[in-house]
Chain A
Amino acid sequence: MERMSDETPRIGVFICHCGINIGGVVNVPEVVEYAKTLPNVVYGEENLYTCSSEGLSKIKEGIQKHNLNRVIVASCTPRTHEPLFRATCEEAGLNKYLFEMANIRDQCSWVHMGDHEAATEKAKDLMRMAVAKAGLLRPQEETEIDVAPSALVIGGGVAGMTAALCLANQGLSVHIVEKEHEMGGMLRYLHRLYPTMQNAPEVMDQLVNAVNSNKNIEILTSSVVKEVKGFIGNFEVTVQKGNGKTVNLGIGTIIVATGATNFEPFGMYGYKEYDNVITQLQLEQLLKSERLQNMKNVVMIQCVGSRQEGRSYCSRICCMTALKNSVLIKELYPDADIYVLYRDLQTYGKEYEEYYREVQKKDVEFIKYLPEKPPEISPGQNGKLNVNVYHSLIGEQVEIMADLVVLSTPLIQHEDAKDLSQKLKVPLGPNRFFLEAHVKLRPVDFATDGIYVCGCAHWPVDVGESISQAYGAASRASIPMAIKKLRTEAITAVVDEDICSGCGLCELTCPFKAILIEETEKGRKAKVIAASCKGCGACGAGCPQMAITMQHFTDEQLLAQVIALAEAIP
């Protein structure tokens, strides 16, 4: 039977010697005797090692024998040992949240080794504070929620299709929402893929066919996400279809794979002013449709519109794209002279440096220009273009008569990314790409549970990287669906609706979108989504009405600790 907690607290304290780690500095018997004098403490004992199996049996025995409904272990740090002691309490039928720890080793005996008296006094203070909090502890329940066995993939490019296939092949149902009328994304415009020179249409067709023929995947083209409600495991997504109809989907997890678009360099280097100034993406299409005329001189300019004020990032794919397209032009017209005007060539990927060296052997000339002295374009004879560039490595001005100037422009985020980010309540970063939870440690997660990101929606990546990320995102997205049920955090914020004014500051504060304003019978009120709440307490400590209680770290409990500490002050 679960032990009652609302009756008068009956606190048991177990004080650990930790061998000589604590006992060698802190006078443990004295602390035990002291603890027994504190309010609501009905039992106290010392253990050589409370975490040993013998010590744990003592806790269980104490709970039974003395009818304890709160347990305190004074020993090491809760960061390592709280789970063990909590589990022990649970085994003895005590709700694990009715357990409290006092850290008298890591933060006492180990750091005040030269002053046994002061360390013992501090241990007593920490004991008194723990007892004060323990008396106010309440049992907490971790509730379980079901996870809808269905994923939503937004975007039908290489990242989205790959992620969808990964999930579908695990037997999960997947919906792909693609705003264009056909699948494929950016891959539709590409010709060959570096470094293997594979045919982009072949890669795309394989993926599209696989997706089309997978019975677990539903494809919604010419469709956009209209509304997203709910939270991990239970998203309710409304999709606006091309025919004007809407469809409602019950979704467990969501993957954002909306890709990116190419920057159009209007007003730069004569783009749209001269017909023979084009972007790399346009060159891809000329090559793909075999419409590229015989060329004598081709100039490629790197970093057009990137790595500059307002768009500070490196688009990552353009260096390799320029190298690859140089090779393709050389294959078509071996006599063509190709000049790549670059700032820094960043061939960072696996074997890419090798590829660069191969291209260098093919008579492609690399000219390093300075951002403060960018190349200049002026009309030349016979429709050619005069490209004037300061070659910074040889310190000379170089003039090239070019048949074609190709601008390597960065991938940029879609216009409608902001709209989608607001619907999903996930953030965009400073360069307007979708912002992950942690750049190093959680690269495909959003801070909001149950939503993941892959491909160029996150940052410019090539096809190989898109696929890797799609695998990652699909794997992350499948976890909640594989477990089928989620345990919600018990330590969550709770709103007192009678005090809440519905101002919405908590909604603004919460980075996890775990607290939202809703219309209720009592008017606008904050509502906590327990499944999303991480229990940080930031909302409560800022609430203008002080209407939010952070469970397990309540104002009352913290105040009790402060008061207990202050008792010793004369």
Chain B
Amino acid sequence: MTIQEKFEPDILGFLCNWCSYAGADLAGVSRFQYPPNVRIIRVMCSARVDSTIILEALIRGLDGVMVLGCHLGDCHYITGNYYTKRRMKTTKNVLEKTGVSPERLLIDWVSAAEGERFATLVTEFTERIRKLGPLGKETDLKPQQLRTRLVAAKEALAQERIRWLVGKEGELVEDKNVFGEKVSQEEFDQLLFQTIEKEFAKRRILLSMGEDALSVKEIAQRVEASPREVLRNMISLEQDGIVSVVGIEENSPKYRRVGE
């Protein structure tokens, strides 16, 4: 029996220049010690962090990602961190769809005066990821399957439908729309999460198809979904001009990727 080496996670942190990065500096000045697992990328605002780059980091093997901004209401750019909050909610939801624990993404706020808080957050997050183990340990997916799902998630987060909804959330939920109607948070989240589910499923289908011409049944096998659900997505993909019917075999249409 071999003694397993203790797992040390690789963690990436996106810190905003004005609050959380300054908080991390203060942790240093104050000599608050924390685990050396985190590597930091400085951005001007946490709202600079595109959800797709978080997925990219996971695809490339990072075990956890933290996005830290100014406290809500204290953003140097006034409203940036509200966008971060909404985008990260979406990103966590997409992660959940892949089977990866959304716990691997930490979104939190650290002021320039909170050096100790920064050190505590990093320590706790590192401990959390140590417990979760290497990326994907919480799933029973093979590395290649996991990767494909993460790529599907990343592609979903690049989709116009999702990005548009996320960008409009503040206006829809807090202000009124052009008809003077207000959407409740629950209604909005339901719509958003449904859209995510759909877009993620479509991206998985497209990734599974490759260059092949496939029937709905064949695709359904590849993505382990019901043919009915796949068919619904195929129709939507066809409307978007991303797939096209290239032939009929045994009364069943064969689809192939064409667009994008």
Contacts and interface: CB of A to CB of B under 8 A. Distances in A.
Interface of A: 77-79, 103, 105-108, 110-115, 118-119, 121-122, 125-126, 129, 437, 447, 491, 503, 505, 508-509, 511-512, 534-538, 540-546, 550, 553, 555, 558-559, 561-563, 565-566, 568-569
A535 B33 CA distance: 32
Interface in B124-172: 158, 160, 163-164, 166-168, 171
Interface string B187-210: 000000000000000000000000
A563 B39 contact: no
Nearest to A120: B36
B78 A511 contact: yes
Interface residues of B, number: 49
Contacts of B168: 505, 508
B28 A107 contact: yes
A568 B61 CA distance: 10
Given A553-B44, A562-B62, 10 more contacts: A110-B28, A110-B31, A505-B168, A536-B47, A541-B50, A541-B83, A542-B47, A562-B12, A563-B60, A569-B60
B24 A125 contact: no
B29 interface: yes
B119 interface: yes
Contacts of B47: 536-538, 541-542
Contacts of A538: 45, 47-48, 77, 79-80, 83
15 contacts: A103-B40, A108-B28, A111-B32, A111-B36, A113-B33, A129-B39, A129-B41, A536-B80, A537-B43, A542-B163, A542-B166, A558-B53, A559-B53, A562-B62, A569-B60
Interface in B96-134: 119
Nearest to B18: A79
B87 interface: yes
A352 to B, nearest CB: 30
B5 to A, nearest CB: 11
A122 B12 CA distance: 12
Contacts of A121: 36
B39 A569 contact: no
A511 B87 contact: no
Interface string B8-52: 001010000100011011011101111010011111110111110
Given A79-B22, A112-B36, A568-B10, A541 B41 contact: no
B56 interface: yes
Nearest to B83: A538
A367 B100 CA distance: 65
A555 B36 contact: no
A492 to B, nearest CB: 11
B167 A566 contact: no
Given A77-B25, A79-B17, A534-B77, A544 B56 contact: no
Contact of B36 (A118, A541, A542): A118
B33 A565 contact: no
B204 to A, nearest CB: 21
B48 A565 contact: no
Nearest to B24: A107
A117 B114 CA distance: 27
A542 B165 CA distance: 10
Given A537-B45, A569-B10, A569-B60, A437 B33 contact: no
